Structure 1
């Protein structure tokens, strides 16, 4: 009752206090809705003022987060109804009217995320005690601080959204209300404000007491708060760092280079070096690290790539990104792999905890980004592509147009063709992970493992040093060419092994890169230098699947399959990708029929509009990923899942 009286006074409508917000105080057990016309005009909140102090901003976002995780399991959960929106707003000390709820939750609203919630709180301020008293004073014609019960009862049961007599009686049953039929509105307003504060404090205490909730560190959508638990001062530093974003096509250059600027009109191009510096609110230097990699299509159609380990010496504001990159051969038309979607999942590399920390969910042109704060420690960075736009190609008529790899020159000696040299140069760039223009033994071994499954031994590497061009015990581009020419020469011009290399790296027999996507990972850290290197994880696919499933269940919405109590469909709807997961909690396998025919301008990772998926008992399984065919056009996801009869 106390909590909801502000909505009564300020707009006139019915709301209900959620039980989760009740502090031990027994006053809130009687909280019920009231309705009175709105008298006080809305004022600009402190967050709308350009001179707002940073500590107030920080307190605001902490209160937002506390209220949200009191209502939901994490800040990635979504508000799925108007009733849930009302509930979480009340936990944040607001008391929305029906008109207020209708303003934010329109007929076209299906859900809201944490950022949407924060945006509402910025504009819906808390009612102050003096303002509430001023409203009651308009009803206090005698000016003695009291209003007759009959006058209040008449107002609440006849004006606006009427209340029941029982609800009105509940107000007057409070111990702090006089028993002589007079309503002490000043005392009532004091109780109301103290109850709001008590509910907020209960939410904050719950957040502080729950270590798991405190350490959740998920990013948010582009343009919203980078991280709910991050201070505005840190968020400002992240925005400043965007101006020092490096150009992915020039990572091999160690001299000064220009950054590729974000699409935001506020960003500008600036010169950076390998240690990108920018002026932030804390005057700390921004450090930059990057590594390259490549998504490769396996024979079974799955997508593989290297994984990476990030080490942060100390807790820092971080910007992570992944994006496709072009190779040295330039054409007027962007290569097809530049349209392949990418993502980066961040898992804790702790020996006791490999939980999902965050994943890229914002996009700037081809770059997929996460901004936030990460604690000191080690993390696995797991690259991901949905498979919607990177698929196996048919090989019909390809072999009839095969390009030669080797030929005999005028001296009668074998040599590499110009076309093959260009491809080898591109492959060199793909496996030159640190972009220093040289191949280390570790980098070369990643290639050998992909081709033959065996590593190059140190003895063999020493032989390479004696026979091929090397620098600092690393293979140069020329040395890489010499190595492949020697292989062709030893086989007397037989190109089978060379074709194995070419096709493993995603090229067809016309030397077109059609089944691979070169990418680059970038890390910007404030105040500490990150360490980033490629690793070969035997558990990599399992970890990636775990991260993907976790992201869908945490950030997605769940619905029960029609007619099934123990089968649920989780759907993550991002700005640029929809991913769905089926959770079969029953004790027998189920077969789900999936129909994408109602989607528009969409392509599925399954490659089919209609398909069936079998999910074993007590198992979760990713169903599909869906992307827009053309990002320039509207796209609609309206998938229908039904249970196929068990045979």
Structure 2
């Protein structure tokens, strides 16, 4: 590879300027903006394939420098070379720690996890596999150069695409302003014409009255005998004129309508012409409004392009850490984002292809009246509701999802004294964006039946909207693997993401086994060690508690784990003990360190397992080390138009109370009512039952609008192949006045068989 002293010497000057502009616009909204810090200068140069040393940076950013313009940036790019073969060789030798002529998985992993976002070995291995031509699991010099240079070129292509979109957005904005200016001018002219027309109409009416008086005087007949002039003509002309003058678009639409109509239009009365004109105007106004929304949408899609390509491709730090370590001129920043993107495309975090399954969820009336129970004294005849339809399920995920920014987190549901506790999230969205959220259960190493637990997501605003609503959207559709998904448009702001499960498959255990698994044993030297079975469970607990999935447990993740198992946060002195007793990696607990902590606890307690069992029970395990009171899940959030959205785990707790003293049950009840089918309960004027159905379950909600408490008996025992969130399919409920109540959740007991919901309600 020959050395290139400058990009400008190997390409046309016009192309060189375009490349600089594309890199500049990947950071700024306009080339008129200034570079205001040395760090910004470094980042901008890195976008062009340059990675200057501190000495070079100080050459252009002196103590007297306050800002640099785009022209200054272009001059610097002319003077400073891009990556050369010598630079790559220096980088290669720095990473090749043992000097064997190859970069191993361990060597690359050490460099990539030295700063910034941590990468697991599996992720680094995927990066190596991308360019490892001879499949020996390591990189030679040629493969290393291919990894760096190819990803850098791809990044430049992405920057060019970003620049084109940004310029297109600017052009659209100019066109929109021109249209608004034209429309405003047309409105002014229309108003002037309207005033002139009204003045002419008034003069015509005065002339008609004078003429009428003259005729009446000559003939001697009463004025009332002569028909008054119809105002329809003048109103028609005025209205048509207004419709014609308000907007050139409306005029062209009317002309096209008249051309198509031909002779048929000429046969219409003036009333018909007026009506047609008004309809055309309304239709065109609607089309214009829709067009503006589409343009606004395009603007949103382009707005995210003001960020760097690394953020666009969902990367925080990967190979950009290497130059800091080796001090070379190699620019590996752009490679970072593309490597992260390749990871997603090769399966790391990419959504699986949805499968298909069948279920029955459609409302139909009961065909056999003899099957109905006898009516109660207050109800002449019970009403049986039945749901049954066969349907295959497949999530309609966006086709270009791999281009969206992906944020993910793990979490778990826990059952505690019959109440549901789970991880809950804050979601901060800096820019308006279309989002796609999926959630699915993760199978534990032991426990959980073959049918997946339903794991849905509710998206709430941090404050009520104009109508007092907190709920934005929730997942209703799923695939055959148990993954639920929802797509919606969100405005910039703060939101709450609340996981939810109906409790049909996830319930409190009925009883506890008396047989207890062995957690601790003694080795030959008399030292207390944890058993193999307990070790396997602890490894699973570590994986579920590693919420970001980076292979380590941060202090925050360990703190959430500690709150769950002990009810207390980790104090500074307690974290100091952790740091003193086990080896950490970059300040985070490794899986080996987590196992070591539990072994130390077993040793300190001299084999007493009470505290160890407290941990296991809190994490949902029974005495036989089977997870039956917890359900781990995976939450994935994709944003199309926002590259720096933040998904933050804030608590592991029961659901809080929301603004307006609304409980979470109140919010989901209202959502089921809004999306469900209504039917009045006979015998009660103000009592309704709503049946809500989605791809996974059916919910029955009672809404009592009366001023008295009502006792209702629900009988779902004739349903086929269903399980519910209650032990019995027959129950009597008391519904307080002015309240709603979720009576039942129902879902198929066997996912592979048809299922049917039948419910009869009786007033007691």
| TM-score, normalised via structure 2 length | 0.50
Distance in 2 (alpha carbons) for counterparts of 1:635 and 1:190: 57
Counterpart among 365, 375, 384 of residue 500 in structure 2? 384
Structure 2 contact 459–495 (Cα < 8 Å) conserved: yes
2:358 aligned with 1:261:
no
- 8 Å contact kept, 1:592–1:612: yes
Q: Distance in 1 between matches of 2:603 and 2:261?
A: 94
| CA–CA separation in structure 2 for the residues paired with 1:621 and 1:367 | 27
* Distance in structure 2 (CA, Å) of the matches to 1:456 and 1:338: 37
Matched, 1:607 2:727: yes
Please state how far the C-alpha of 1:445 moved relative to its aligned partner. Answer: 2.0
Q: Contact 2:300 / 2:433 at 8 angstroms: preserved in 1?
A: no
Alignment of 1:136-175 (within 5 A): none
Alignment equivalent of 1:483, drawn from 593, 597, 601? 597
Cα distance in 1 for partners of 2:550, 2:289 equals 50
After superposition, the Cα gap between the structure-2 partners of 1:367 and 1:232, relative to the gap in structure 1 and judged at 3 Å, is farther
| Change beyond 3 A, Cα 1:574–1:189 | farther
Distance 1:388 1:191, change over 3 A: farther
Shift of the 435–568 alpha-carbon distance from structure 1 to 2, 3 Å rule, reads same
Q: CA 1:489–1:370 in structure 2 vs 1: closer, same or farther (change >3 Å)? A: same
Which secondary structure state, in structure 1, belongs to the residue aligned with residue 556 of structure 2? helix
Conserved in 2, the CA contact under 8 Å of 1:346 and 1:357?
Answer: yes
Aligned-pair distance for 1:604?
1.3
Secondary structure at the aligned position of 1:387 is classed as coil
Any residues of structure 2 matched to 1:307-386 within 5 Å, and which? Answer: 307-327=424-444, 329=445, 335-336=448-449, 339-350=452-463, 355-364=470-479, 365-386=481-502
Q: What is aligned with 1:26? A: none
In structure 1, C-alpha distance between the alignment counterparts of 2:510 and 2:561, rounded to whole Å: 25
Partner of 2:693: 573
> Cα distance 1:203–1:263, how it changes in 2: closer, same or farther (>3 A)?
same
CA displacement at 1:190 relative to structure 2: 4.8
Contact (CA 8 Å) 2:440, 2:483: kept in 1 or not?
A: yes
Residue 293 of structure 1: aligned partner: 411
Contact 1:399–1:509 (Cα < 8 Å) also in 2 = yes
Conserved? CA contact 1:279–1:285, under 8 Å: no
Task: Establish whether residue 468 from structure 1 lines up as the match of residue 468 from structure 2.
Answer: no
Cα gap change, 1:390/1:197 in structure 2, threshold over 3 Å: closer, same or farther?
farther
Aligned match of 1:595: 715
- Contact between 1:590 and 1:614, CA under 8 Å: does it hold in 2? yes
C-alpha contact (below 8 Å) 1:600/1:636 kept by paired residues:
yes
Q: Is residue 740 of structure 2 the alignment partner of residue 620 of structure 1?
A: yes
CA contact (8 A) 1:342 1:368 kept: yes
- 1:288 and 1:530 in contact (8 A); partners too: no
What is the deviation of 1:624? 1.6
Tell me, yes or no, if the aligned pair for 1:290 and 1:523 is still in contact at 8 Å: yes
Aligned pair partner of 1:534 in 645, 649, 670: 649
Aligned residues of 2:425 and 2:650 also touching (Cα < 8 A) = yes
Partner of 2:702: 582
Deviation (angstroms), 1:573: 1.5
Alignment of 1:93-492 (within 5 A): 184=267, 190=273, 193-194=276-277, 196-197=279-280, 256=343, 257-258=346-347, 259-263=350-354, 285-300=403-418, 302-327=419-444, 329=445, 335-336=448-449, 339-350=452-463, 355-364=470-479, 365-395=481-511, 398-400=513-515, 402-492=516-606
CA spacing shift, 1:233–1:354, aligned 2, 3 Å: closer
C-alpha displacement of 1:555: 1.4
The Cα shift of 1:450 comes to: 2.0
Give the CA deviation at 1:201: 8.0
Deviates more, 1:541-550 or 1:433-442: 541-550
CA drift at 1:444: 1.6
Which SS does the other structure have where 2:632 is aligned?
Answer: strand
Q: 2:135 corresponds to which residue?
A: none
Q: Given the alignment of the two structures, is residue 501 of structure 1 paired with residue 615 of structure 2, yes or no? A: yes
Deviation at 1:185, TM superposition (A): 5.1
* Bigger helix share: 2
Within 5 Å, give how 1:27-42 maps onto structure 2. none
- Offset of 1:285 from its aligned partner? 4.5
Runs of 4+ in 1 over 6 A off after TM superposition: 128-134, 186-189, 201-208, 229-234, 351-354
For 1:340, what is the secondary structure of its paired residue?
coil
The 2-side partners of 1:193 and 1:230 are apart by: 31
Write the distance in 2 (CA, Å) between the matches of 1:314 and 1:476.
35
The SS at the match of 1:447 is helix
Matches of 1:578 and 1:291, distance apart in 2? 28
Give, in whole Å, the separation in 2 of the partners of 1:375 and 1:496: 49
User: Which secondary structure does the structure 2 equivalent of 1:513 belong to?
Assistant: coil
Would the alpha carbon gap of residues 430 and 525 (structure 1) be closer, same or farther in structure 2, given more than 3 Å must change? Answer: same
Alpha-carbon distance, 1:263 to partner: 2.8
After superposition, give the CA deviation of every residue in 1:35-54 in whole Å (9 maximum; x if it has no partner).
xxxxxxxxxxxxxxxxxxxx
- Residue 357 of structure 1 aligns to a residue whose secondary structure is strand
Contact 1:571 1:579 in 2 (8 A): yes
Change (3 A) 1:192 1:539: farther
**What is the rounded CA distance, in whole Å, between the counterparts of 1:363 and 1:279 in structure 2?**
17
Q: Distance in 1 between matches of 2:687 and 2:297?
A: 36
Cα displacement string for residues 221-249 of structure 1 (whole angstroms, at most 9, x for unaligned residues): xxxxxx9x978998xx9xxxxxx99xxxx
Structure 1 counterpart of 2:755, from 610, 618, 635: 635
Q: Tell me the number of residue pairs that the alignment of Structure 1 and Structure 2 aligns.
A: 420
Distance 1:346 1:490, change over 3 A: same
Unaligned runs of 5+ in 1: 1-54, 56-127, 138-143, 146-183, 209-213, 215-226, 238-243, 246-252, 266-277
Q: Deviation of residue 512 (structure 1)?
A: 1.1
Report the Cα distance in structure 2 between the residues aligned to 1:539 and 1:297, rounded to whole angstroms: 10
The 3 A distance-change label for structure 1 pair 264 and 233 is farther
The alpha carbon displacement at 1:476 in A equals 1.6
Q: Decide whether the 8 Å contact of 2:420 with 2:654 is kept in 1.
A: no
Distance in 1, matches of 2:744 and 2:534, equals: 37
Q: CA deviation at 1:488?
A: 1.7
Correspondence for 1:153: none
Q: 1:206 to 1:643 in 2, by over 3 A?
A: farther
Please report how far the alpha carbon of residue 260 of structure 1 lies from its aligned counterpart in structure 2 after TM superposition.
4.1
What is the Cα-based RMSD across aligned positions, in Å? 4.0
